[in-house]
């Protein structure tokens, strides 16, 4: 007879998974950095330099302040959803 206690199924898969959350925080940090860079940098800090270029009839700095930051934000949301879907599958995390 074996004296080993039966394995607890919950110990085989610790929640939350450390690697999953580490990668999740890295993704969030990178995307927040890009969002801050575009929304604050391109719309406020570098607006004078960007205004020497034009999109149509609008200066590029003005365009970023009015529309470009929103477009970048929408792209970042899409990127986040795709990357998190990949990470969920990679780490076998189900909702």
Predicted pLDDT at 16: 60
Global pTM reads: 0.74
Report yes or no: 31 and 76 within 8 Å, Cβ to Cβ. Answer: yes
Which residues neighbour 27 within 8 Å (Cβ) at sequence distance 6 or greater?
A: 80, 83, 84, 87
Per-residue pLDDT tens for 2-60?
Answer: 566 655 555 555 556 788 999 999 999 999 999 999 989 988 899 999 999 998 999 99
Distances (CA, A) of 40 to 46, 53, 64: 9, 18, 10
Of 46, 49, 43, give the one whose Cα is nearest residue 63.
43
R_g of the chain, CA atoms, integer Å? 22
Domain coordinates in residue numbering, the chain: 20-93
């Amino acid at each position: 007879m074996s004296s080993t206690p039966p394995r607890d199924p919950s110990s085989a898969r610790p929640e939350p998974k450390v690697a999953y959350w580490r990668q999740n925080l890295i993704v969030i940090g990178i995307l927040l950095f890009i969002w801050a860079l575009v929304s604050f940098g391109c719309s406020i800090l570098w607006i004078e330099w960007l205004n020497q270029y034009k999109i149509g009839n609008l200066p590029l700095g003005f365009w970023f302040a009015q529309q470009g930051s929103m477009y970048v934000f929408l792209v970042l949301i899409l990127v986040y959803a795709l990357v998190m879907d990949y990470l969920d599958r990679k780490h076998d995390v189900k909702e």
